[in-house]
Amino acid sequence: MSLKYAILGLLADQPQTGYEIQKSFAGSVAYFWEAKFQQIYGELRRLEEQGLVEREAAPGRGRQQRKVYAITPNGERALDAWLDTPSPLVPVRSEFLVKVRSFGRLPRERALARLREHRRQNEERLEAYRAIQARLAESGITDESEIPAPLLGPYLTLASGIAYEQAILAWCDRAIALVERRAPAD
């Protein structure tokens, strides 16, 4: 269900094509939701049938097939109603943590290799967030409480992503140190 509203949320910012929506996902929604092209195109078709989005006229000189979608008033109502709805607390669903739970079975060095790899991956993601943060900072926000409404959401989710990655990195360091101190004989 979230994909539907994630798309409506992006279209509420500005009309876009399915391709652009997928790119928008990659640039801002990426770390808390992702979707493939195929899924987005299918969802857009369904949203259009429901009258929540519409294809804009004047699809544009040259490019054939290009379909620009915009949110409709009904779409905005549906989005706003959903926004003010409780969200269930879901499990993290981390394949990595499923592995960690059985790390006692792994030779110490192999467990360390997996932990270091995980740390590096999350470090890269944190750097990507820092880059987005730098771009946001350039848009001239001096006081946090003065953030314009359209940027409030992206600002908060970015802060959440950064806090999350920092917590993971700190945990990785603790876990690596702990495993390193263990007796090498497994």
Interaction site with DNA (CB under 7 A): 1-3, 17-20, 23, 34-39, 41-42, 44-45, 62-67
95 binds, among DNA, a second copy, none (CB under 5 to 8 A by kind): a second copy
Residue closer to a second copy (CB basis): 59 or 171: 171
44 binds, among a second copy, DNA, none (CB under 5 to 8 A by kind): DNA
Residue closer to a second copy (CB basis): 131 or 170: 170
Residue closer to DNA (CB basis): 49 or 146: 49
Helix axes 2-13, 73-83, angle to 10 degrees: 120
In whole angstroms, the minimum distance from the beta carbon of 162 to DNA comes to: 23
In whole angstroms, the minimum distance from the beta carbon of 43 to DNA comes to: 7
Q: How far apart are CA 45 and CA 7, in angstroms?
A: 12
In whole angstroms, the minimum distance from the beta carbon of 86 to DNA comes to: 14
Identify residue 116 by its one-letter amino acid code: R
Contact 115, 179 (CB under 8 A): yes
The first and second tokens of residue 166, run together, are 């920092």
In whole angstroms, the minimum distance from the beta carbon of 62 to DNA comes to: 4
In whole angstroms, the minimum distance from the beta carbon of 15 to DNA comes to: 11
82 binds, among a second copy, DNA, none (CB under 5 to 8 A by kind): a second copy
Residue closer to DNA (CB basis): 27 or 107: 27
Three-state SS at 17: strand
Max CA distance (Å), the chain: 70
64 binds, among a second copy, DNA, none (CB under 5 to 8 A by kind): DNA
20 binds, among DNA, a second copy, none (CB under 5 to 8 A by kind): DNA
Residue closer to a second copy (CB basis): 61 or 101: 101
The first and second tokens of residue 168, run together, are 């993971």
Task: Of 38, 36, 39, give the one whose Cα is nearest residue 4.
Answer: 39
Find the angle CA(148)-CA(10)-CA(66) to the nearest 5 degrees. Answer: 130
Q: What is the DSSP letter of 105?
A: G
Task: Of 11, 71, 3, 13, give the one whose Cα is nearest residue 37.
Answer: 3
